[in-house]
A and B are shown apart, each in its own frame.
Chain A
Amino acid sequence: MKSVDQARNALAFLEDEAHERAFDALIWGLRERRDAAAREVAEWEELRTLASQIKEHTLTNLAHYLEMFEARATRNGAMVHWARDAHEHNQIVYEILSSHNARRLVKSKSMLTEECEMRPFLERRGVEVTETDLGERIQQLDDQPPTHIVGPAFQKTPQDVAELFHRVYGSDPRRADPVYLARVMREHTRPLILAADAGMTGANFAVAQTGAVVTVTNEGNADLCGNVPKLRICSVGIEKIIPGNDELAVFIRLLTRSATGERITQYTSHFAKPRAGGEMHIVLVDNGRSQRLADERFWPSLKCIRCGACMNTCPVYRRSGGLSYGATYMGPIGIIMMPAADIRRYRELPFASTINGSCSNVCPVQIDIHEQIYQWRELMDDAGLFSTTKKAAMKVAGAVLSNPRVYRAAAEGGLAALRVLPHFALYNRVNAWGRRRDVPDPAKETFHQWYARTRGRAKGERP
């Protein structure tokens, strides 16, 4: 399969300067609010360590906690299903729906169903799927995947949304006011929630000791989707399990502060049992997670609680846009998750980073994201997934830089200096540096030549 060309996609994003500026300002604003929120909590760094340890403990004992969760949830009256992969997940959801003759599904809050590409799967089988969260609904109406895991429509300006809603709903295209736009959307989706046959949510956490699925939201749609229709389905990635409510408290303190700088969201909801006369189904989804857990190097990405802080701080993400990654999960966390799902398709993603380390230091569960990006790069070399030109350029650079005589000849041959370093030699694209920047002038005399001229050749010896 053709790999995603993140750099080319980023270029398209950058060419629309007004949107790029607005996106960077919006997303950097989240990072600043996160900093302010973290500053308020004196024990912030200890909390991060604790959260990381809880996740590591839970992932280390995942089978135990999953079985505990299944037993408790079953005792609460929920029905638990196990899905090996995306297809099984979609199949299970469809079977639940069709056995109830449910044709209209409303849903809230789930990146997992995006990962499983569930919506097109169900739509092909005649199920009408409605996203009820504002951002998700905007993207659905515009037929675009999410551009951010917390705010799927962050890449659109209020004006973009006003025009979209005008097109779809006939609302006032001049009113680019978020409060007005949210009301327009609600007026059109609330009747769909009331008429729905089934409701679906994802999960921020699944609590093993209580058997409850926990969602953390602001708009309250998870509660409507989960409580209005008699049939409720919760899709849960198996890494979302945590031991108990004490541990949950640690994550609740970290999650929204990291995501948006809010101390807490409007709703932290525990879905523990079906509503009276209804049914509750929980689908536990693996879809590659067990395999990643078994990987000595890359298991820590499973600690992720989907706050998006790494994306908000990432200067590359903010200047590339979420769509440039061509993936369900984007930004730094996407870079380390997506190649595990499809190494060929996502082989360029680890290079869409300056490895500046900011992501790892905002991560509330201390995933060493930038170190993992570095390791994914090495893996691409091991797996023979460099392009032939890149491999050749690296071989030449390695051969020149490991041989003092050859290096000297190249470095001191005037313009040849530009061909020594891979920065300039790569793909023979000196132009790629020079397109938007000036190429530095090689010095008339290298440091080495200066030293030889003024100090003599031997170590410490004066001429």
Chain B
Amino acid sequence: MRVGLMIPCYIDMFYPQVGVATLQLLEKLGVQVDYPFDQTCCGQPMANSGAHIEAKATEELFVRNFADYDYVVAPSGSCVHHVRNKFTAADDTPERRHVSAHVWDLPEFLCEVIKVEEFPWARFPHEVALHVSCSAIRGLGEQSMSERPNDPWFSKPRNLLQKVNGISITDFDRPDECCGFGGTFSVTEEAVSAAMGNDKLERIGASGVRYIVSPDMSCLMHLQGCAHRDREDFHFLHLAQVLNGDAA
């Protein structure tokens, strides 16, 4: 099993500790992981802005970097959603199709491929709020969505988080409403974006929780920016950091 680790550009630059936690976690679970050195980005920042012409070369670089792997694993639902479901700027080749069909968001890989039962090294004696991104919920189907109330309820990220010793997960109002990040939306519609982020923090804050955990760091980057501005005392952690036993 050849596993290629994809570290999204914003994690590389702003949150390297999330990349480290992902790598260490996979290794603790016995997975041997390659980190292709020439990787940059999946192309989503341009493609999601409509700039598919400008995204082509970046997507094709991604295909070259990861075409040889049986599994491509990334700690980011939105990047995985892009590679799996939106990878149309790159030329349609067998390699591109292979990459799209073999990319996994970390929670999916842990639940479905290696079927992790426990994280004996992980202890987190806190109440946490779990924020799952729209890409992970409605793009990748990692969790049932509130829009379909008759579907059986499930959540892969929550299942994983529940296996951490000492943790308790607290619910909050409107759990799967978008946090307002949305890529370049966060800049072009900055007022609405920040209003959405602050509303999300207000609802989480109302539940009394101060730890916010998410399998998507881009949502957290946005929420963290909103929180710091209002001097809210929140702590933001990627799911991989908690599962890896960091920062207990």
Interface residues of A (CB under 8 A from B): 6-7, 10-11, 14, 20, 24, 28, 35-36, 38-39, 41-42, 44-45, 313, 315-316, 319-320, 350-358, 360-362, 374, 376-382, 386, 390-391, 394-395, 397-404, 407, 411, 417, 420-424, 426-427, 429, 432-433, 435-443, 445-451, 455, 457-460
Contacts and interface: CB of A to CB of B under 8 A. Distances in A.
A398 B57 contact: yes
Contacts of A402: 40, 57-58, 60-61
Interface in B60-100: 60-61, 86
Given A441-B14, A459-B35, A14 B191 contact: yes
Given A315-B180, A358-B178, A398-B58, A436 B194 contact: yes
A446 B13 contact: yes
A134 B189 CA distance: 33
A355 B134 CA distance: 8
Contacts of B48: 355, 374, 377
B18 to A, nearest CB: 8
B25 interface: no
A386 B192 CA distance: 21
Contact of B150 (A7, A44, A380, A459): A44
A386 to B, nearest CB: 7
Given A351-B185, A354-B182, A437 B226 contact: yes
Contact of B192 (A10, A395, A411, A422): A10
A399 B50 CA distance: 16
25 contacts: A7-B191, A24-B199, A351-B188, A354-B134, A358-B138, A358-B177, A361-B148, A377-B49, A381-B52, A381-B53, A381-B54, A398-B46, A401-B61, A404-B37, A404-B38, A407-B9, A411-B9, A417-B13, A422-B183, A424-B187, A426-B188, A436-B226, A438-B228, A459-B36, A460-B32
Nearest to B55: A398
Q: Quick one: which of B38, B183, B192 has the most chain A CB within 10 A?
A: B192
A436 B191 contact: yes
Contacts, number: 250
B226 A447 contact: no
B184 interface: yes
Closest 4 CB pairs of A and B: A377-B50, A354-B182, A437-B225, A357-B138
A204 B86 CA distance: 35
B50 A386 contact: yes
A398 B35 contact: no
A217 B38 CA distance: 61
A38 B150 contact: yes
Nearest to A380: B50
Interface of B: 7, 9-17, 19-20, 23, 32, 34-41, 43, 45-46, 48-58, 60-61, 86, 134, 137-139, 145-151, 174, 176-178, 180-197, 199, 221-222, 224-226, 228-229
B51 A381 contact: yes
A52 to B, nearest CB: 15
A437 B224 CA distance: 8
Contacts of A38: 149-150
A450 to B, nearest CB: 5
Contacts of A439: 225
A426 to B, nearest CB: 5
Contacts of B35: 451, 455, 459
A438 B20 contact: no
Contacts of A36: 149
Nearest to B42: A401
A358 B133 CA distance: 12
A350 B50 contact: yes
Contact of A435 (B36, B49, B190, B224): B190
Contacts of A411: 9, 12-13
A426 B20 contact: no
Contacts of A376: 50
Given A45-B148, A401-B40, A401-B43, A316 B192 contact: yes
A258 to B, nearest CB: 11
Contacts of A451: 19, 23, 35
B45 A397 contact: yes
Contacts of A398: 46, 51, 54-58
Contacts of B177: 315, 358
B58 A401 contact: yes
A440 to B, nearest CB: 5
A450 B150 contact: no
A381 B13 contact: no
B133 to A, nearest CB: 9
Given A354-B134, A417-B13, A451-B35, A423 B174 contact: no
Q: Quick one: which of A411, A437, A457 has the most chain B CB within 10 A?
A: A437
A422 B50 CA distance: 12
B43 to A, nearest CB: 7
A403 B39 CA distance: 9
Nearest to A385: B50
Nearest to A350: B50
Contacts of A24: 199
B13 A356 contact: no
Contacts of A399: 57
A369 B225 CA distance: 29
A333 to B, nearest CB: 15
A358 B192 contact: no
Contacts of B9: 401, 407, 411, 420-421
A427 B36 contact: no
Given A357-B138, A358-B178, A394-B49, 20 more contacts: A35-B146, A39-B149, A315-B177, A351-B50, A398-B58, A401-B45, A417-B14, A421-B9, A423-B187, A426-B188, A427-B188, A433-B225, A437-B190, A437-B229, A440-B225, A442-B14, A446-B16, A451-B19, A455-B35, A459-B37
Nearest to A434: B225
Given A39-B149, A354-B134, A424-B187, A378 B11 contact: no
Nearest to A36: B149
Contacts of B229: 436-438
A429 B184 CA distance: 11
Nearest to B174: A28
